[in-house]
């Protein structure tokens, strides 16, 4: 047996025991080891202290006043969720110890307590607690890190960096990029990482409505202001109060509305359709368009003053053709969301194509292919993707499984994919092999072998 470790980072321990002698002696022993010790003499006190002080560990005697019934002690265990619980039991109370474990206790110590064992069990439980916390933090960081914006290309990393920096501010943001590249995702990430994430996120499609309807939608209307206005209707600027108003396709906004929006952006005030009283609302505005707004301004199609109001900060979402190395990771994510795997041939097929509709189009094909899988099939392959894309499987090389040289063609497609991913990673890393290997998720030695094999050195 390995020797018991002697030192570790101390923690904050809640000692729940009604015996003053044990509180004193056990407490002093743990304090000597550097731990901070809190004590409670009954269940109610213990739960209240736990809620207030959030200790790292609970040492719990099961038999306590008023009833001294261990069942009552057991019932306390779930109340200490978030910290490991070590129960203190009598020597012959194995059943009780098992029940405690079922209820979530991490360990148990027989009484009378052996100090060496106490020291060891406390240290082990504290270590577990710290690992749990670290895991939670890593999970949060990981979720935060991608913010739903999947992609390893440098352009995506810097986009995420900008979102993280801009989100906590209230500055207006203009998101520019081709259709289907994640502009709305960026707007949502900005909202979700702002201090106002609990307030509403309200999207409005500016191109889908006439000027009149858009005005009524945004600023609301009063009863009787037009046929069909049977009651007062608040506008979306009101619905989004305190949160984010997302103006999608702002380039399509009719000129008559542009001037009203400008007023709202400048003064925070607006007039509901048919109303006589000016209202105000405070929202953060994120606008997006796939159109060249600057060119529209030059052509007199979009108000210059509104353009400058909207573009507090400009964020750009890259076309998928500018980050082809992200096709596999995006495809794998979309397949995973559908609960299926994805084969190498499928990734090769997807990577070899152009995606004029960008991520939206890629996602639609992966989703459709997942829906077309036969019962029992767990993995997307090139055939399923061909069908989903409306092509006959034999029209693409990787799918012609029936032909004699199908294996050869698949190998060829995979080699091509490998060559491209490696070249792109090397380029993105400025020729640094260690960095390129990290991006590709392989070892440096593995990368060097591949570079030699593919003649890329």
Q: What are phi and psi of 402, to 5 degrees?
A: -75, -25
Q: Which residues of 257-280 are buried (b: 16+ CB within 10 A; e: fewer)?
A: bbebbbebbeeeebbbbeeeeebe
- CA dist 194 and 325 (Å) reads 30
Minimum distance of ligand ATP from residue 367's CB (angstroms): 9
The single residue among 319, 359, 380, 413 that binds ligand ATP, judged by CB under 6 A, is 359
- Residue closer to ligand ATP (CB basis): 111 or 360: 360
- CA dist 181 and 100 (Å) reads 52
Q: Token pair for residue 167?
A: 């989100």
The single residue among 61, 215, 248, 424 that binds ligand ATP, judged by CB under 6 A, is 248
Q: Token pair for residue 278?
A: 């000016």
Q: What 3-state DSSP class applies to 97?
A: helix
Give, to the nearest 10 degrees, the angle between helix 115-146 and helix 154-166.
100
Is residue 152 close enough to count as binding ligand ATP by CB under 6 A? no
Is residue 184 close enough to count as binding ligand ATP by CB under 6 A? yes
The single residue among 103, 150, 199, 414 that binds ligand ATP, judged by CB under 6 A, is 150
The window from 116-124, 302-310, 358-366, 439-447 that contacts ligand ATP (CB under 6 A) reads: 358-366
The window from 96-104, 181-189, 226-234, 400-408 that contacts ligand ATP (CB under 6 A) reads: 181-189
Is residue 233 close enough to count as binding ligand ATP by CB under 6 A? no
The single residue among 63, 96, 109, 149 that binds ligand ATP, judged by CB under 6 A, is 149
The window from 147-155, 166-174, 298-306, 379-387 that contacts ligand ATP (CB under 6 A) reads: 147-155
| CA proximity to 334, closest of 365, 289, 311, 303 | 365
Minimum distance of ligand ATP from residue 77's CB (angstroms): 41
Q: Give strand ranges (E) for 215-283.
A: 220-221, 233-234, 244-248, 269-270, 279-280
- Residue closer to ligand ATP (CB basis): 16 or 347: 347
Is residue 180 close enough to count as binding ligand ATP by CB under 6 A? yes
The window from 11-19, 53-61, 359-367, 417-425 that contacts ligand ATP (CB under 6 A) reads: 359-367
Minimum distance of ligand ATP from residue 183's CB (angstroms): 3
Contact 229, 274 (CB under 8 A): yes
- Residue closer to ligand ATP (CB basis): 57 or 247: 247
Q: Token pair for residue 12?
A: 């904050």
Is residue 311 close enough to count as binding ligand ATP by CB under 6 A? no
Query: Quick count: other Cβ atoms within 10 Å of Cβ 107?
Result: 18
Is residue 151 close enough to count as binding ligand ATP by CB under 6 A? yes
Q: DSSP label at 18?
A: S
Minimum distance of ligand ATP from residue 175's CB (angstroms): 8
| CA proximity to 43, closest of 11, 69, 13, 23 | 69
Q: Give strand ranges (E) for 343-383.
A: 379-380
Contacts of residue 216, defined as CB under 8 A and 6 or more positions apart, other chains included, come to: 226, 233, 235, 273
Is residue 290 close enough to count as binding ligand ATP by CB under 6 A? yes
The single residue among 72, 169, 179, 433 that binds ligand ATP, judged by CB under 6 A, is 179
Q: Which residues of 357-366 are buried (b: 16+ CB within 10 A; e: fewer)?
A: bbbebbbebb
Is residue 293 close enough to count as binding ligand ATP by CB under 6 A? no
Minimum distance of ligand ATP from residue 425's CB (angstroms): 18
Minimum distance of ligand ATP from residue 361's CB (angstroms): 9
Give, to the nearest 10 degrees, the angle between helix 327-337 and helix 358-372.
40
The single residue among 128, 291, 360, 438 that binds ligand ATP, judged by CB under 6 A, is 360
Minimum distance of ligand ATP from residue 246's CB (angstroms): 9
- Using CB positions, name the residue nearest to ligand ATP: 182
Q: Token pair for residue 109?
A: 């110590």
- CA dist 65 and 63 (Å) reads 7
The window from 61-69, 178-186, 374-382, 414-422 that contacts ligand ATP (CB under 6 A) reads: 178-186
Minimum distance of ligand ATP from residue 334's CB (angstroms): 8
- Residue closer to ligand ATP (CB basis): 35 or 188: 188
Is residue 183 close enough to count as binding ligand ATP by CB under 6 A? yes
Contacts of residue 327, defined as CB under 8 A and 6 or more positions apart, other chains included, come to: 320, 347, 350, 351, 355, 362
Give, to the nearest 10 degrees, the angle between helix 433-440 and helix 444-453.
100
- CA dist 416 and 404 (Å) reads 20
Is residue 318 close enough to count as binding ligand ATP by CB under 6 A? no
Q: Which of residues 48-107 bind ligand ATP (CB under 6 A)?
A: none
Cα-Cα-Cα-Cα dihedral sign, residues 318, 322, 323, 327: positive
Q: Which of residues 362-381 bind ligand ATP (CB under 6 A)?
A: 363
Q: Interface residues with ligand ATP (CB under 6 A)?
A: 149-151, 177, 179-185, 248, 288, 290, 317, 359-360, 363
């Amino acid at each position: 047996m390995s020797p018991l470790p002697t030192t570790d980072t101390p923690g904050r321990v809640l000692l729940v025991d009604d015996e003053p002698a044990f509180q004193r002696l056990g407490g002093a022993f743990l304090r000597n080891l550097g731990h901070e010790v809190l004590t409670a003499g009954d269940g109610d006190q213990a739960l209240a202290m736990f809620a207030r002080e959030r200790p790292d560990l609970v040492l719990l005697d099961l038999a306590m006043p008023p009833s001294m019934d261990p069942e009552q002690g057991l019932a306390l265990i779930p109340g200490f969720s978030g910290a490991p619980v070590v129960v203190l039991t009598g020597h012959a109370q194995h059943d009780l110890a098992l029940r405690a474990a079922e209820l979530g206790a991490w360990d148990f110590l027989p009484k009378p307590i052996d100090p060496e064992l106490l020291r060891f069990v406390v240290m082990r439980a504290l270590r577990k607690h710290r690992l749990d916390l670290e895991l939670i933090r890593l999970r949060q960081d990981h979720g935060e890190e991608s913010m739903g914006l999947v992609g390893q290309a440098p352009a995506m990393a810097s986009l995420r960096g900008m979102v993280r920096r801009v989100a906590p501010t209230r500055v207006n943001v203009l998101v520019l990029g081709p259709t289907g590249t994640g502009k709305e995702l960026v707007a949502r990430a900005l909202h979700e990482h702002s201090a106002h994430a609990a307030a509403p996120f309200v999207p409005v499609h500016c191109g889908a409505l006439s000027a009149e309807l858009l005005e009524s939608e945004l600023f609301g209307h009063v009863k009787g202001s037009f046929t069909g206005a049977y009651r007062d209707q608040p506008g979306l600027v009101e619905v989004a109060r305190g949160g984010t108003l997302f103006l999608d396709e702002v380039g399509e906004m009719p000129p008559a509305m542009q001037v009203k929006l400008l007023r709202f952006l400048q003064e925070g005030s607006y007039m509901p359709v048919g109303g006589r009283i000016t209202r105000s609302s405070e929202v953060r505005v994120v606008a997006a368009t796939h159109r060249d707004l600057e060119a529209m301004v030059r052509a007199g199609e979009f108000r210059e003053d509104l353009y400058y109001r909207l573009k507090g900060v400009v964020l750009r979402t890259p076309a998928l053709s500018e980050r082809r190395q992200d096709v596999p990771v995006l495809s794998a994510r979309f397949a995973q969301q559908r609960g299926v795997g994805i084969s190498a041939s499928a990734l090769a097929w997807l990577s070899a194509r152009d995606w004029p509709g960008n991520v939206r189009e890629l996602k639609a094909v992966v989703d459709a292919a997942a829906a077309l899988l036969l019962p029992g099939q767990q993995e997307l392959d090139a055939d399923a993707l061909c069908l989903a894309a409306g092509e006959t499987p034999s029209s693409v090389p990787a799918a012609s499984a029936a032909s004699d040289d199908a294996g050869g063609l698949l190998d060829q497609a995979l080699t091509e994919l490998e060559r491209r991913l490696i070249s792109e990673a090397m380029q993105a890393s400025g020729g640094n092999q260690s960095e390129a290997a990290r991006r590709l998720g392989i070892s440096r030695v593995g990368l060097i072998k591949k570079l030699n094999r593919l003649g890329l050195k």
